[in-house]
Structure formats: structure tokens, C-alpha cells
Amino acid sequence: MSVAVLERITIEPNTRATACVIWLHGLGDSGAGFAPVVPVLGLPDDHSIRFIFPHAPEQAVTINQGYVMRSWYDIKSMDLHNRADMPGVLDSEQLVIALIQEQIDVGIPADKIVLAGFSQGGVMSLFSGLRYPQTLAGIMALSCYLPTADELPAQLSAANKQTSILQHHGEQDDVVPLFAGKMANTLLNQADYQTEWKTYAMGHSVLPHQLQDIGKWLVSRLI
């Protein structure tokens, strides 16, 4: 089965890239939504991290009256146990795997790649990262949940059992409730994953000082 090559925004470092962050956007957004954050992360001027902000495919989304928009999977309802369309999640997982493989093919090893995402993109980074067969540098899951609700995904990979997982969530999030992110964190902790959980006084968004925290974490994983 051939996997589509996703359009994306790529931001190259000033030096030769030796690491990569693949950052997945949320429902109805595009890679352009997060590309402007790179200068705000506070990375060293001579960092060697390539940032890739892919655009999700366009599809009809049930909870938005069937309107076609960029989406990693259909969202069928707001009920956490029936929210994510799992066939769509699995299709997008293949797109994520292809993005990682592209970087490996140009010389960046998996353990120098961070898989990151916000909201629906965070769902995909967490789900795909937990199942990915090679060790990644880190998994960043912002304002999101597990598509499998109150259980860990099937076919977990031992390769990322010790990988650092950064989870951030807004305390006033009215799109993805705080308890949904915390449920994922609790499941990961119970299974002895290496998680770092932090909440912020915000809704379903990101804050400048949060981006500074993310930058420090990226430096610890990739530099």
C-alpha cells in the first residue's frame, strides 16, 4: 500500500540538521498554525533541529456537521469513549510513520526525532509514538487524550518504554477536558512510562511561557 506524501512546512536550522521535530496540528488547522512557534522556543542560535509541520488530509468531520476540513481522523462524538474514528487513526499513523521514515532516510536516526502534536495531532503523536518500533528521542502530547480512552493502545512497542513523554494540558480546556489528558497520563504512569505532566492556566491553546518550557525539554532531548 502506497502512503501519501503529506504537504508540509519545513523550517531548517542554520547548521546542518542532525535532529528533527515532527509537529502535528489540531482539527481544522494546518502546519501553518504552529510553524511560528519555533522562534519562541528559546533554542540556541546554533541548534541543529529541523522542524516539520505537516498538513493533515482533508475529510468530512461528523461533529462539525460533516464539513470537510484538515483532520487526522473523524471525530464522531464528544464522548471520550466514542470520539476517535479508529480506522482513521490507523490510516494517519501510517502517514506519521512515513514522515519519520523520510527523516531516517536522509540520515537523522529515530532516536534524534521527537514526535509532537497538539489536540488531535497530540492524539496521533502519542498513539503513534507508543507503537513505533524504533526508539524515538521524545513524544510530546499537548492538550490531548488517548484515542483508546481508558486503556493503552494495542501493540505497544517496547522500543519507547523509556522514552520521555511530555504532556501539557490547559486547566480550563473546554474542548479536550483536563480529565481526558490526566486519564492518559495515569495509564502511562501505571505502565511505568517516563512521563512529565504539567498543567497551565489556559483553555485549549498554548502559552508563550509554556513554549519556553517546551524549548527546554527539546534541548534536553535533542541537543
| C-alpha distance from residue 100 to each of 8, 25, 146 (Å) | 13, 16, 20
Q: Are 50 and 14 in contact (CB under 8 A)?
A: no
DSSP string, 99-130: HHHHHHHTT--GGGEEEEEETHHHHHHHHHHH
Q: What's the longest Cα–Cα distance across the chain?
A: 46
| C-alpha distance from residue 163 to each of 64, 141, 181 (Å) | 35, 13, 18
Q: Is 173 a catalytic residue?
A: yes
What is the total residue count of the chain?
223
- Write down the catalytic residue from 91, 111, 157, 204: 204
- Write down the catalytic residue from 92, 119, 125, 164: 119
Tell whether the torsion through CA atoms of 135, 136, 137 and 139 is positive or negative.
negative
Q: Is 119 a catalytic residue?
A: yes
Name the residues annotated as catalytic: 119, 173, 204
